[in-house]
Each structure stands twice: as structure tokens, then as C-alpha cells.
Amino acid sequence: MADKEKRRSAAVPSGMSAGKATKSDSDVEFLSQAGVGELLRGAILKMVEARSDDPIGFLADHFCNLASVTDSSPAGCGDEEQMNGGPVSACAQEQQHLNRALWHLRLAHHSQRSAFSNNVRVAYDLLNISACQRGGVRGGLYTQTLQCLCSEGGVPASTSAPLLRRLHCQDHEVVPYDVFRHGVLTCAVFSDYIRQSQKLYAEVCCPHEGPASRALCMAVLGTLKEALETSTGCEPDSIRYLEASAKISPNRLAQAMEGAQSRGPGGNMDAKEFENAAADLFITRVKVVF
């Protein structure tokens, strides 16, 4: 945010500092001329949609983003622009679009379905501008978006690498909206999934001892695997969900853990290995983009 901070050279600040003595009429006039009402309304609407925990930070981000939007007109220079004047390099402009798209994608959690979908649409349109004439996002930009999403979500690069291998697109390929949305949603869900698996590892390994026992970890992940593999046959979804959730009920887990203690393989499993094993369960179910 600091590098985006910039004194705007418009007439507004100077107008404001000199206008303290004016009458109320010209105050109202001034506000309507500057379009402040619209600005504030837009900001409040965005805030209600995002429901962020940090309202001041959110508003600061929002106005920064807005500032960079109005700054990056085709004739003007971007904030990151190194050269004085001259045409904006396509690369820097693309990076700017990417940053703004990522900002939009961060606004809503993927569980807020309609807000998230809207944001994905906005992000796609942003990235589409900087891309080719065929109407779609450039493959390289799309892959970069996914990488940023994963790393911002707290997923280490080595864990997200197999996922990205399934989802990425080549630079020369054009990504349509549906594929873009699927990729973005999968990465957002994956970040949550990995965070949850880290939490699970913390629960499984006893705090006073070191790493968790291998048998216990395998048993716990085994129940998840079983639930995921519940047959997807001709049963209606509701029955499949009930059957799967029966396999991960506290009773079943207690049985599995007790069994593991007596019968499981020896040794320990560290956090990294556990995370990779859990990630594997998720990633094998991700459809490869083709």
C-alpha cells in the first residue's frame, strides 16, 4: 500500500484547504460536483458485500485501488512505471491488472456464493482487457493468478505445485470464463483445505509429545479417504452425503484411532508429510484442465 501512496495533483485538495470560509450552499455544490456521494456510496456497498473484519483497512484498500484505476488510463503512467512519460509497458500494466484482479478475488470468501461469483466475474473482465483478441484470459496470466491465490492463502509452493500442474494453462492458450472460475474456486477451496489439515495435524499430535504417531495419522486420513470414496453410483446425493458423513462420525473416528494405536505401523509422521498426504486426497479429485 505504501508504494501506491501518491499525492494526487488534482484541484480537489487545494480547493478543500481554501474552502473553509464558504457558505453551506457552495459546500453542497462542491460535494455534488466532485461526485463524493457516489464515491462514498460505492465504498459502503463494497464494504457491506465484503464484510471484512477490518473496516478501516478495507476502506483504505478500496480507495487505493480506486486511485490506481483512475490513474492507469491509456495515456497516463502507472504507479510502478519506471520511465518518465512514454508508453506504458504492457508487462507493467498487466501486473497492475493482476493486482487489481487479486484484490477483487480477496474480497469475499468462496462460501459467500453470489458475492464470490460477482468478484470472479469482475476479476476475469479485468484480466481479459490485457489479453489477446480472442476473448479470454491469457494462459500465463491465469496461471499466475492461481499461484498468487495459493500463496496468499498460506499454501506452501511445494504443496500447491501438484494442484497447479492440473489446473495451469500454457501461455499461448486462451482461458474461457468457466475454466477461470473453476480454477479460482478450486484454489480458494484448496487454501481452506490445507489450513484445515494443518489444524487437524495440531489436534492429532499430542501437545506434550513431538510429531504425531504415523499409525494415528494414517488412521485419521484413512477415514477421510473412505468418506470421499463413498460410491457415487445411482444413489441420490443426499444418501451419499449421509453415508459419507456416517464414516467420519466421532464414533467411527474414535474406533479408528483406538485401532491404530494397537495395530498401526510404527514411527512418526511430521507435519509436512501429513499435509502432503492430505493434499493428495484433494488433488486426485481435481479435474485436469484440458
Partner 1 sequence: MTQTSDHHRRMSCSEDHTESVDCTVKPPVFLQIGDTKGDSARSGVCVVDVTLPYGKPINIEKITFKNYYTAYVTVRLLRRKAEKEGSTKWCTALTDLALMDNPHTDGGSQNYFSIHRRQMQVQPDHVESIRLILRQPSSAWRIFSLEDIRLFPHKELAPEKEVSDWLSDLIVVKQPPDLEGLPDPQTVSSSIQQMWALTEVMQANRTTASIGRFDVDGCYDINLLSLT
Residue 79 is classified by DSSP as: T
Say how many residues make up the chain.
290
Task: Return d(Cα 73, Cα 169) in angstroms, integer.
Answer: 29
- Residue 155 beta carbon to partner 1: minimum distance, rounded to whole angstroms: 13
Cα torsion at 257, 259, 260, 261 (round to 10°)? Answer: 90
Which residue, 161 or 257, has its beta carbon nearer to partner 1? 257
Which residue, 113 or 272, has its beta carbon nearer to partner 1? 113
Nine-digit cell string for 123: 476479476
Which residue, 63 or 241, has its beta carbon nearer to partner 1? 241
- Residue 217 beta carbon to partner 1: minimum distance, rounded to whole angstroms: 11
Which residue, 74 or 250, has its beta carbon nearer to partner 1? 250
- Residue 148 beta carbon to partner 1: minimum distance, rounded to whole angstroms: 19
Decide if 107 contacts 49 (C-beta within 8 A). Answer: yes
- Residue 231 beta carbon to partner 1: minimum distance, rounded to whole angstroms: 9
User: In this structure, what are the phi and psi dihedrals at residue 210, rounded to the nearest 5 degrees?
Assistant: -85, -130
Contact set with partner 1 (CB under 8 A): 110, 139, 169-170, 173-176, 178-179, 181-182, 185-186, 189-190, 192-193, 196-197, 199-200, 203-204, 206, 216, 220, 223-224, 227-228, 239, 241-255, 257-258, 261, 278, 281-282, 285-287, 289-290
Which residue, 77 or 253, has its beta carbon nearer to partner 1? 253
Which residue, 126 or 227, has its beta carbon nearer to partner 1? 227
Say how many Å lie between the first and final Cα of the chain, rounded: 37
User: In this structure, what are the phi and psi dihedrals at residue 22, rounded to the nearest 5 degrees?
Assistant: -75, 165
- Residue 289 beta carbon to partner 1: minimum distance, rounded to whole angstroms: 7
Decide if 154 contacts 185 (C-beta within 8 A). Answer: no
Residue 62 is classified by DSSP as: H
Nine-digit cell string for 280: 493428495
20: CB partners within 8 A, 6+ apart: none
Dihedral sign for Cα 270, 275, 276, 281, please.
positive
Task: Return d(Cα 138, Cα 171) in angstroms, integer.
Answer: 6
Which residue, 129 or 242, has its beta carbon nearer to partner 1? 242
- Residue 164 beta carbon to partner 1: minimum distance, rounded to whole angstroms: 14
Which residue, 77 or 189, has its beta carbon nearer to partner 1? 189
- Residue 283 beta carbon to partner 1: minimum distance, rounded to whole angstroms: 10
- Residue 213 beta carbon to partner 1: minimum distance, rounded to whole angstroms: 10
Decide if 162 contacts 283 (C-beta within 8 A). Answer: yes
Nine-digit cell string for 238: 443426499
